């Protein structure tokens, strides 16, 4: 694996880095420390800038109007986009196009006209509903929401939990059990939020003080058969294939805040004096900075190894799981050490460190908890006999 950047990749990195530092970071001085949105006028202006850069819609395939960017370059961009206060939750406040429900690229032509293109144009908001109160780490077995065929429709009943943005969405992807236990019994449906029987029961608040997830209740929700995404019983495959790939830039975003946190810690250690000498001369501080540097290099190597294999078309399930596992774990340690070096200032909202500390803790659970990633890795190492 060659980690040397091409000339084009270096130009993109430099361009995105300038954009984050000159356009995004100055705006945050006037925002609430937990903000995840920009004022409309700033958002629209920055979106136009990103479009002129040719980088809008990073998750969108070229055939649907997105830039032709490989996964390695996508990760390089993710690292840069993570280096501001809201970088781990709302990288660049979604002016690069935000997260797309990539599963909709599997839709039929009719479904694409009705649901995909309005999402790509930014006219409609979409949610993704896989997890349930019974457990989100093993959706193939944990899904209890039932879908029963009724003529040309399906009747859905059940509850979904930890669903982001459902209360603000126009429609979404919802996974329900149409058959027996296991992966083959799960089907993906496109569900509109205004339909009778769809109810956002409550907001579920988490460590993100300004953000929350939703609990969704489905009561005799009638969904047309034509709103099945893919094939009946093929929902798990649709969800899993995309999630596995998405974990790689997800890992890269964790690297971004680690890089910035360490950069801040190094600079602070040089100017902060205790007992007549700067912190940078204290061996205890030096070792913390060394550990940060080692962890960051390890995260980069693992993430780009996974991205390279995915770009080549090689199997990358294990590499994706390792990257997600290590980056979500190690970046938390980097942020923690950086907070310690800053002392009391490290936990103050004057700096982004305390927000990153909260956000990165969630990353150890999102996109599959660390323990699930270990199970995936163990299954590939030991064999498919593990369930």
* CATH architecture for segment(s) 243-382: Up-down Bundle (1.20)
**Could you give the maximum distance between any two Cα atoms of the chain, in Å?**
81
Write down the CATH superfamily of domain 126-229: Butyryl-CoA Dehydrogenase, subunit A, domain 2 (2.40.110.10)
Is 367 tagged catalytic? yes
Rounded to an integer, what distance in angstroms lies between the CA atom of residue 58 and that of residue 79? 14
Could you please report the per-residue DSSP string of 24-57? IHHHHTTS-TT-----HHHHHHHHHHHHHHT-S-
Measure the CA–CA gap between 185 and 234, rounded to whole angstroms: 8
Q: What is the pLDDT of residue 4?
A: 86
Task: Please say if the pLDDT value at position 136 is more than 80.
Answer: no
Predicted confidence (pLDDT) per residue in 312-340, tens digit: 999 999 999 999 999 999 999 999 999 99
Residue extents of the structural domains in the chain: 7-104, 126-229, 243-382
Q: Is the pLDDT of residue 160 over 70?
A: yes
At the topology level, CATH places domain 7-104 in: Butyryl-Coa Dehydrogenase, subunit A; domain 1 (1.10.540)
- Rounded distance, CA 216 to CA 169, Å? 12
CB atoms within 10 A of CB 32: 12
Query: Which token pair is 95?
Result: 């002016």
pLDDT range class, residue 346, cuts 50, 70, 90: very high
Q: What confidence tier does 56 reach under pLDDT thresholds 50, 70, 90? A: very high
Report the DSSP pairing between strands 277-278 and 171-177: unpaired
- Mind listing the pLDDT tens digit for each residue in 99-126? 667 788 889 999 999 999 999 887 889 9
Residue with tokens 């090689």: 314
pLDDT of residue 97: 84
Are the beta carbons of 15 and 53 closer than 8 angstroms?
A: yes
Active-site residue, from 196, 253, 367, 371 = 367
Answer whether residue 216 shows pLDDT above 80.
yes
Estimate to the nearest angstrom the gap between the alpha carbon of 349 and the chain centroid.
23
* 209 pLDDT more than 70: no
What's the Rg (C-alpha) of the chain?
A: 22
Are 111 and 104 in contact by the 8 Å Cβ rule? The answer is yes
What pLDDT does 138 receive? 64
CA distances 189 to 82, 116, 119, 230, 330, Å, are 32, 14, 16, 9, 36
The model's pLDDT over 280-301, given as tens digits with 9 standing for 90+, comes to: 999 999 999 999 999 999 999 9
Give the pLDDT score at 385.
Answer: 55
Query: Is pTM beyond 0.85 here?
Result: yes
SS3 355: helix
């Amino acid at each position: 694996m060659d980690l040397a950047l091409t000339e084009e990749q270096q130009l993109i990195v430099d361009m995105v880095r300038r954009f984050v530092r000159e356009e995004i970071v100055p705006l945050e001085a006037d925002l609430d420390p937990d903000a995840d949105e920009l004022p409309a006028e700033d958002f629209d202006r920055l979106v136009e800038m990103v479009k002129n850069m040719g980088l809008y819609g990073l998750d969108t395939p070229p055939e649907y109007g997105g830039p032709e960017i490989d996964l390695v370059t996508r990760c390089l961009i993710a690292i840069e986009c993570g280096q501001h206060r809201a970088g781990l939750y709302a990288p660049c406040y979604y002016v690069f196009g935000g997260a797309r429900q990539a599963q909709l690229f599997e839709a039929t032509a009719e479904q694409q006209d009705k649901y995909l293109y309005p999402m790509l144009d930014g006219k409609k908001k979409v949610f993704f509903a896989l997890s349930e109160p019974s457990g989100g780490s093993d959706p193939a077995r944990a899904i209890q929401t039932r879908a029963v065929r009724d003529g040309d429709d399906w009747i859905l009943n059940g509850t979904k939990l930890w669903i982001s943005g459902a209360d603000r969405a126009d429609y979404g992807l919802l996974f329900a059990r149409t058959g027996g236990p296991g992966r083959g019994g799960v089907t993906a449906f496109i569900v509109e939020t205004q339909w009778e029987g769809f109810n956002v029961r409550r907001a579920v608040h988490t460590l993100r003080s300004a953000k929350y997830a939703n609990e969704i209740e489905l009561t005799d929700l009638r969904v047309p058969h034509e709103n099945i995404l893919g094939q009946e019983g093929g929902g798990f495959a649709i969800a899993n294939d995309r999630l596995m790939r998405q974990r790689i830039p997800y890992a890269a975003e964790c690297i971004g805040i680690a890089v910035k946190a360490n950069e801040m810690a190094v600079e602070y250690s040089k100017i902060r004096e205790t007992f007549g000498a700067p912190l940078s001369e204290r061996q205890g501080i030096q070792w913390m900075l060394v550990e940060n540097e080692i962890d960051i290099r390890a995260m980069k190597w693992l993430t780009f190894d996974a991205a390279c294999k995915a770009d080549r078309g090689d199997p990358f399930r294990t590499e994706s799981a390792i990257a997600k596992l290590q980056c979500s774990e190690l970046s938390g340690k980097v942020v923690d050490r950086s907070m310690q070096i800053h002392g009391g200032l490290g936990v103050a909202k004057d700096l982004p460190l305390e927000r990153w500390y909260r956000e990165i803790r969630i990353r150890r659970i999102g996109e599959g908890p660390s323990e699930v990633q270990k199970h995936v890795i163990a299954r590939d190492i030991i064999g498919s006999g593990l369930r």
